[in-house]
A and B are shown apart, each in its own frame.
Chain A
Amino acid sequence: MNHPIECHALAKHYGELAALDGISAVVPRGQVIGLLGHNGAGKSTLIKLILGLIAPSGGRLQVLGQSPWRAHALRRRIGYLPESATFYGNLSGRELLDYLARLKQAPRAQVATLLERVGLAHAADRRVGTYSKGMRQRLGLAQALLGSPELVLLDEPTTGLDPQATRELYRIVGELRADGRCVLVSSHLLAELEPHIDGALILRQGKLLAAGSLHALGEQAALPAQVLLRPRELAMGELLARLEAGGVSARPRPDGRLELQVPRAGKLRMLRELLADPAIVDLDVREPTLAQLYDWLGAGPPSTAEVAA
């Protein structure tokens, strides 16, 4: 079966500028994929290409089995939440969704259900102009779900949301995944996004730096795990000496713990030894985070020299 998004050597040029430069990737069904990259990395361009709002300059892009450029009917099967969504402030939440449901030829009964689902039923008849940023964002999510789309694109969906609303949003994203839909989430907030995504597409200056499941990306990067040790009282010096004798570099932290970078290969053996050590009273293992992976890939903003080039 086709994947919801398949692209091969996809490119988009604006004159001399290559906004996207030869992207090849697939986004599978039933998964939540993070679209990551610094500002100007090409995320918005990719989203516009997927929506069929701009034409590719080269390569091939298939969305839900067809080329999206000017394929208006295809957009009935796609939901999109724009970054910092603004809506017609003079309409009420219900009127806005009614209007958009008509444009999408979605069942009108969905309007009330979706308002309930995003927690806006109480404000449904208030003017959108009076909504808080978080409420507008939730309304944006509701409109993205009109017509039960197979592919949902969320552009910075948690901007302006409080922690509880953020959890709510990711709960709904989880439901979409369980429902077999494909969700592409673009975000800067790596730590917040990490627990909720299955994989990532990481862009930098129009090029695809990495793509795949978080697990596979972690394996590929082979970043060391971080182990934090709390030594028994007055045993810090002794423990530090012993670790260094064993060829392990440890760094004392201000909170009285020791921090070790443990390579993936010997991790389990090392952990067994540490657990057996009587000088250690507590131990914490931290796997490399998405943010560390991101740094390792060099996905950060381009340097001034690169921009000038």
Chain B
Amino acid sequence: MNPILTVAAKEFRDDFRNRWTIALTILFALLALGIAWFGSAAAGRVGFTSFDATLASLTTLGAFVIPLIGLLIAYDSIVGERDDGTLLLMLSYPLARGQLVAGKFLGHCGALAAATLAGFGLAVTIMQWMQPPEQTMQAWLQIARFILSASLLGASFVGLACLISVQTADKSRAAGLALVGWLVSVVLFDLALLALLVVSGGNPLERAVYPYLLLFNPVDVFRLVNLTALGDGAGNDLLTGMTAHHVYPPALLYALLLGWAVAPFAWALLAFRRKEI
């Protein structure tokens, strides 16, 4: 078997053994069911309501949770081996450094994607079984798109975690940096954009630039992919406010999300090749 797949299979199995995959599956299923059931509680009723509203809330929540999980699952993938003294052993085997990082990246992405599919799949199955709403092809497509984009978002942060893991000297520093990475991409980036928007006071030229600034953050691309597809009224957050007058070609968004899924990993690959062992 190809060494990348051998390493990936081990990491995938390890995530199962460490209960990561099962815990994430349950977490995703509970989140989805909770949001679906209590999503309309403010309006005075509970129960499975519209898929659109549920997916919109899930997107907002997923944008917080999935990056964190991607970082947590993989931040120690290389630096952990260095701390444990197994890195030198692994590199004494007939595999290139890039193959080791690629195997770890693929294994963790696979585990995260499997948990996403299983968790949200389980939730959708339960919703179907308890209260089958009139399902349209459109709704199924939206669910599929959500699961796929969530997996790509996860890959982006697993890649970022690999990069942090390659570049740091010990595990605790890697964990700290991972948290900073999460804070910046999930909270601070949007806050900074919002501040810019307020300060600029709606200058038309700047307003034209903002929608493109959003594309520099995979978390925002993930939101755009899901929320713009849901149509009006689905989301009411900052994002829809900022992009109200802007239409992104879906192909561009998917290409960007895919690019974001690969870019941090590619950087990690290059950085590890140059590292002195």
Interface string of B249-277 (1 = CB under 8 A from A): 00000000000000000000000000011
What distance in Å separates the Cβ of A51 from its nearest Cβ neighbour in chain B? 5
Cβ-defined partner of B91 (8 Å) among A53, A85, A88, A100: A53
Q: Is the CB of B17 within 8 A of A84?
A: no
Q: Is residue A102 within 8 Å, beta carbon to beta carbon, of the partner chain?
A: yes
Q: Is the CB of B88 within 8 A of A102?
A: no
In the bound complex, what is the Cα–Cα distance between A143 and B93 (angstroms)? Answer: 10
In the bound complex, what is the Cα–Cα distance between A70 and B7 (angstroms)? Answer: 19
Interface string of B1-33 (1 = CB under 8 A from A): 101001100100010011000000000000000
In the bound complex, what is the Cα–Cα distance between A80 and B93 (angstroms)? Answer: 9
Closest residue of B by beta carbon distance from A75: B94
B-side contacts of A227, CB under 8 Å: none
Query: What is the number of contacts between chain A and chain B, taking CB atoms within 8 Å?
Result: 56
In the bound complex, what is the Cα–Cα distance between A54 and B277 (angstroms)? Answer: 7
Q: Is the CB of B89 within 8 A of A82?
A: yes
Cβ-defined partner of A54 (8 Å) among B3, B17, B86, B276: B276
Q: Is the CB of B3 within 8 A of A103?
A: yes
In the bound complex, what is the Cα–Cα distance between A72 and B91 (angstroms)? Answer: 9
Q: Is residue B92 within 8 Å, beta carbon to beta carbon, of the partner chain?
A: yes
Q: A54-B276, A54-B277, A102-B1 are in contact. Are A82 and B6 (CB under 8 A)?
A: no
Chain A residues touching B, range: 20 to 34
Q: Is residue B84 within 8 Å, beta carbon to beta carbon, of the partner chain?
A: yes
What distance in Å separates the Cβ of B217 from its nearest Cβ neighbour in chain A? 35
In the bound complex, what is the Cα–Cα distance between A70 and B98 (angstroms)? Answer: 11
What distance in Å separates the Cβ of B272 from its nearest Cβ neighbour in chain A? 12
A-side contacts of B95, CB under 8 Å: 72, 103
In the bound complex, what is the Cα–Cα distance between A264 and B122 (angstroms)? Answer: 84
Q: In chain A between 64 and 86, which residues have their CB closer than 8 angstroms to a CB of chain B?
A: 70, 72-76, 78, 80, 82, 84-86
Q: Is the CB of A76 within 8 A of B277?
A: no
Q: Is residue B85 within 8 Å, beta carbon to beta carbon, of the partner chain?
A: yes
In the bound complex, what is the Cα–Cα distance between A105 and B91 (angstroms)? Answer: 15
Q: Is the CB of B89 within 8 A of A105?
A: no
Q: Is residue B192 within 8 Å, beta carbon to beta carbon, of the partner chain?
A: no
A-side contacts of B14, CB under 8 Å: 88, 90
Cβ-defined partner of B96 (8 Å) among A70, A84, A87, A100: A70
Q: A86-B86, A88-B86, A99-B6 are in contact. Are A53 and B92 (CB under 8 A)?
A: yes
Cβ-defined partner of A103 (8 Å) among B6, B18, B84, B86: B6
Q: Is the CB of B92 within 8 A of A51?
A: yes
In the bound complex, what is the Cα–Cα distance between A74 and B276 (angstroms)? Answer: 20
Cβ-defined partner of B17 (8 Å) among A74, A90, A100: A90
A-side contacts of B7, CB under 8 Å: 103
Cβ-defined partner of B94 (8 Å) among A53, A90, A104: A104
Cβ-defined partner of B85 (8 Å) among A73, A85, A143: A85
Q: Is residue A242 within 8 Å, beta carbon to beta carbon, of the partner chain?
A: no
In the bound complex, what is the Cα–Cα distance between A76 and B95 (angstroms)? Answer: 9
A-side contacts of B94, CB under 8 Å: 72-76, 103-105
Q: A73-B94, A105-B94 are in contact. Are A53 and B88 (CB under 8 A)?
A: yes
Q: Is the CB of B277 within 8 A of A80?
A: no
In the bound complex, what is the Cα–Cα distance between A48 and B84 (angstroms)? Answer: 18
Chain B residues engaging chain A, CB cutoff 8 angstroms: 1, 3, 6-7, 10, 14, 17-18, 84-86, 88-89, 91-96, 276-277
* 29 pairs from A and B in contact (CB 8 Å cutoff): A14-B276, A48-B88, A53-B88, A53-B277, A54-B276, A54-B277, A72-B94, A72-B95, A73-B94, A75-B92, A75-B93, A75-B94, A76-B94, A78-B92, A80-B89, A80-B92, A82-B85, A85-B85, A85-B89, A88-B86, A90-B17, A90-B18, A99-B10, A100-B93, A103-B3, A103-B7, A103-B93, A104-B93, A143-B89
If A73-B94, A85-B89, A86-B85 are given as contacts, then 19 extra A-B residue pairs at C-beta distance below 8 Å, sorted by A number, are: A14-B276, A51-B91, A53-B88, A53-B91, A53-B277, A54-B277, A72-B96, A75-B93, A75-B94, A78-B92, A84-B85, A85-B85, A86-B86, A88-B86, A90-B14, A102-B1, A102-B6, A103-B3, A104-B94
Chain A residues engaging chain B, CB cutoff 8 angstroms: 14, 48, 51, 53-54, 70, 72-76, 78, 80, 82, 84-88, 90, 99-100, 102-105, 143
Closest 10 CB pairs of A and B: A80-B92, A75-B94, A86-B85, A76-B94, A103-B93, A102-B6, A72-B94, A53-B277, A51-B92, A82-B88
